[in-house]
Amino acid sequence: MSEDRLFRYFITWLGWAAMLFLVFPVVLTVVVSFSGSQFIEFPPKSLSVDWYTNIAKINKIGEATLLSLLIAALTGLLTVAMAIPAALALARYDFPCKGAISAFLLSPVAVPMIAIGIAILQFFIWTGLPFNWLTLLVGHMVLVSAYPVRTLIASLTLSNPSLEEAAASLGASRWTVFRTVTLSQLTPGLISGFLFAFLISFDNYPISIFLVRSGLTTMPIEVFNYISQQLDPTPAAFSTIYIIIVSAIIIFAERRFGVISLSVKG
């Protein structure tokens, strides 16, 4: 066997091992959710769907999920809207301190979430603003803002700038060019940016835990509370539903807009 083939063998197996490593917790969760046992055990000795009916017993789960959905949707929409001009500037124009500004915008990814959480908490205490769903929203926006910027820059880099020039030479003003040509080129970046923002916000725990006050609570917090008090597979059942819905959305987005390839290339 040549060295080259050996290397390829090694890489192939490494790839499969990595896939297994990533997928195993998901498979484990799904399997455990159908377990008949009171405790989390793998592989399960008996099967049941009881834990799915038990989901409602998680404290405030409906209310918390609704708030998480609302915060996630708003976080996604607002960060994407804010990321469009930032990405356009970074991808299409040259200006002083461009590198520094770009690094700054992408930095929340590199800072530990706990650190961001503490920082945001201290900021809001310092400002004296009341803690409510708005502070939670702002906290989440800070956390996820880097993702839409990144996916939109990727979209812009992949799109053909002569499309915009063609539109301009045909008589379109800057705004019309943006509306009729640029925006459609940005679609994959908008969708994947929104998805990243939405999903990261939706199941965020470390930031939310600092910012929830006075009855406000989110889905991950309640699920985590449940786990810390009970050891039964109810959260696994909840997670399984969550995994199915998210997978369906991602598969649809990939088929329709090719969003995964975009985030990989970018």
H or E segment at 10?
helix 3-33
- Alpha carbon 132 to chain centroid distance? 22
Closest approach of other proteins to the CB of residue 189, in Å: 14
Handedness of CA 85, 91, 93, 97 (dihedral sign): positive
Rounded to whole angstroms, the Cα distance separating 163 from 51 reads: 54
Q: What are phi and psi of 121, to 5 degrees?
A: -60, -50
Nearer to other proteins, 127 or 169 (CB): 169
Residue in the block written with tokens 């929104």: 194
The residue (of 12 and 180) whose beta carbon lies closer to other proteins is 180
| x/- map, 140-169, other proteins, by CB under 8 A | --------------------x-xx-xxxxx
190 binds other proteins, rule: CB under 8 A: no
CB of 179 to other proteins, least distance (A): 12
Cα–Cα distances in angstroms (integers) from residue 98 to residues 48, 91, 142, 170, 263, in the given order? 57, 10, 20, 31, 22
Q: Which is nearer to other proteins, 38 or 180 (CB)?
A: 180
Total chain residues near other proteins (CB under 8 A): 16
Q: Closest distance between other proteins and the C-beta of residue 256, in Å?
A: 13
By CB under 8 A, the residues from 170 to 189 that bind other proteins are: 170-173, 176, 180-181, 184
In sequence order, which residues have a C-beta less than 8 Å from that of residue 245 and are 6 or more positions away? none
Q: In whole angstroms, how close is the CB of 182 to other proteins at the nearest point?
A: 11
- Binding stretches for other proteins (CB under 8 A): 160, 162-163, 165-173, 176, 180-181, 184
